[in-house]
Amino acid sequence: MKLRFAPSPTGYLHVGNARVAIANWLFARQQGGKVLLRLDDTDTARSKPEYAEALEEDLLWLGLDWDEKFSQSDRLDRYAAAAERLKRSQRLYPCFESEEELRSKREQKLKAGRAPVYDRGALKITEEQMAKALANGKTPYWRLLMTPRTLEWEDGVLGRRAVKLPAISDPVLVRADGSPLYTFTSVVDDLESGVTHIIRGEDHVTNTGVQMDLWEALGGRAGGLQFAHLPLLTDSDGGPLSKRLGSLALRQLRRDGIEPAALVGYLAALGTSRDPVAAMPADLVAGFDINAISHSSARFDIQQLLSLNRKYLHAASFESVRARLPEGADETFWLTVRGNLDLLGEARTWFAVMRGDIAPPVLEGEGEFLRLAAETLPAEPWDDQTWTQFYGAVRDATGRKGKSLFLPLRLALTGEEHGPEMKVLLPFIGREKAAQRLRLAAGA
């Protein structure tokens, strides 16, 4: 068994790509198969080395590896050889129509109430007409002559599926400049690299019928490929996720502080009835079941992802995050703040509150209250009972209660309205810094 993940390095990896990559990896590892990473980079105008590098980095960040890797740009000779075989078998035929001519044909068919399928007009030109076109400097592009049949398969997710080839225009496989298109290169690579199973998005269902026909035209065994198409993701409102891909690129999610385990666990469970569990891929292999994925589109809800990220951080060990904490942060610090984090980057804020210097906001109208509080601070050493003593003393001296007492003190001492309990924070802050912050917040 061999599966492949075949992204195009024309941009950064987004959550839709990542979901497909995770599904391929989990299925392959569960079944003892191999994983091929193939970079579909024949679009030279848009493919960039920096995207290819970022793509591999993002996959490794997700905990995904691969057994083989190659780029399509290194295999142009293989595509040219395959095209020659198809030409000899008369399955690849030359076309000379311009885009304007094709558009006119499509419009005429639509006006007549017919499907805008290519009419195979190029098959009707004579040798004399072809010679004249070539003599006039025209260079042909090449289409696959598809067989007049309906191709069916048992899809690993969607169940029985069928594609009527006569309802589809013969696809262009090779451009006039000789460059191959994705439909062609993908099948050549799948055949020659020994791919056995393909897991990809539902938007490829029609393309699957075309590629099965091409697969057999190139000598592949009928039924030699198994397919599973994942229903496309939508946003939390049920709309197309593609409109939001910029904000859902893995690069951005990483910068925002999303943990890879949270993202992997969330994507692996999307479309199933299982509750997501934050975990790296290796820990999800045993429980993965591609048959559990629903036929319906799954909603990607960033709030659900954040909730899972929060849950993961609240239980994370110090060793698992140690390398990404501020220098000097120890286990005591981590255990104190982790229960209040949505994102790991927020730990830096609390490190500054507890062990660094912050400038609290000036609290208008609270100057007298905060100056009195500064004078009420007890002598050190401080422990987890100091806050209760200090809070009670300020209450007795001012007569304040509840929020009017607590909130100004918290804002002045931490700069934050919410967070770890003050009885835990205050000993870390210390008397000198606490007094300074209270005076600053008082406007002194």
Q: Is 70 helix (H, G, I), strand (E, B) or coil?
A: strand
CB neighbour list of residue 219: distance below 8 Å, 6 or more residues apart = 191
- What pLDDT does residue 237 have? 75
Mean pLDDT of 261-272: 97
CB neighbour list of residue 248: distance below 8 Å, 6 or more residues apart = 14, 15, 241, 300, 302
Would you tell me the crossing angle of helices 205-217 and 182-193 to the nearest 10 degrees? Answer: 60
Inform me whether the pLDDT recorded for 250 exceeds 60: yes
Q: Which fold has domain 2-77+155-234?
A: Rossmann fold (3.40.50)
- What pLDDT does residue 247 have? 58
Strand pairing of 68-71 and 34-39? parallel
Mean pLDDT of 235-251: 70
- What pLDDT does residue 340 have? 94
Neighbours of 223 (CB within 10 A): 11
Lowest mean pLDDT among 196-210, 247-261, 383-397: 247-261
- What pLDDT does residue 242 have? 58
Mean pLDDT of 389-408: 96
> Which residues in 28-44 are b (16+ Cβ under 10 Å) and which e?
bbbeebbbbbbbbbbee
Neighbours of 440 (CB within 10 A): 18
Where does the pLDDT of residue 236 fall: very low under 50, low under 70, confident under 90, or very high at 90 and above?
confident
Positive/negative CA dihedral, 324, 326, 328, 334:
negative
Where does the pLDDT of residue 256 fall: very low under 50, low under 70, confident under 90, or very high at 90 and above?
confident
What percent of the chain clears pLDDT 90, i.e. is strictly above it? Answer: 94
State residue 3 phi and psi, 5-degree precision.
-120, 160
Where does the pLDDT of residue 286 fall: very low under 50, low under 70, confident under 90, or very high at 90 and above?
very high
Mean pLDDT of 398-416: 96
- What pLDDT does residue 208 have? 97
Inform me whether the pLDDT recorded for 314 exceeds 50: yes
Q: How far apart are CA 115 and CA 106, in angstroms?
A: 8
- Bridge partner residues of 226 (DSSP): 197
Q: How far apart are CA 3 and CA 153, in angstroms?
A: 18
- What pLDDT does residue 310 have? 97
- What pLDDT does residue 238 have? 75
Which structure tokens are listed for 203?
Answer: 């938007």
- What pLDDT does residue 190 have? 98
Inform me whether the pLDDT recorded for 99 exceeds 60: yes
Strands (E), 82-138: 92-95
Which structure tokens are listed for 99?
Answer: 């885009």
Inform me whether the pLDDT recorded for 246 exceeds 90: no
Inform me whether the pLDDT recorded for 244 exceeds 90: no
Q: Give the residue from 76, 74, 75, 1 showing the smallest Cα distance to 36.
A: 1
Question: Where exactly are the structural domains of the chain?
Answer: 2-77+155-234, 87-148, 241-319, 320-355, 367-441
Distances (CA, A) of 82 to 29, 224, 399: 31, 18, 88
Q: Residue 63: CA atoms inside 13 Å, Cβ hemisphere, count?
A: 21
Q: In CATH, which superfamily holds the domain spanning 241-319?
A: Glutamyl-trna Synthetase; Domain 2 (1.10.1160.10)
- What pLDDT does residue 245 have? 47
Mean pLDDT of 393-405: 95
Sheet containing 172-174: give its strands across.
92-95, 141-144, 172-174
Inform me whether the pLDDT recorded for 243 exceeds 60: no
DSSP state of 419: -
Q: Which fold has domain 87-148?
A: Glutamyl-tRNA Synthetase; domain 3 (3.90.800)
Which structure tokens are listed for 141?
Answer: 């592009």
Inform me whether the pLDDT recorded for 377 exceeds 80: yes
CA 212 from chain centre, in angstroms, equals 28
What separation, in Å, do the N-terminal and C-terminal C-alpha atoms of the chain show? 72
Q: Can you spell out the DSSP letters for 145-192?
A: ---SSEEEEEETTTEEEEEEGGGSPPPEEE-TTSPBPHHHHHHHHHHH
- What pLDDT does residue 235 have? 83
More confident residue, 244 or 85: 85
Inform me whether the pLDDT recorded for 213 exceeds 50: yes
DSSP state of 308: H
Mean pLDDT of 279-288: 96
What is the average pLDDT score of the chain? 94
Please, what CATH class does the domain formed by 367-441 belong to? mainly alpha
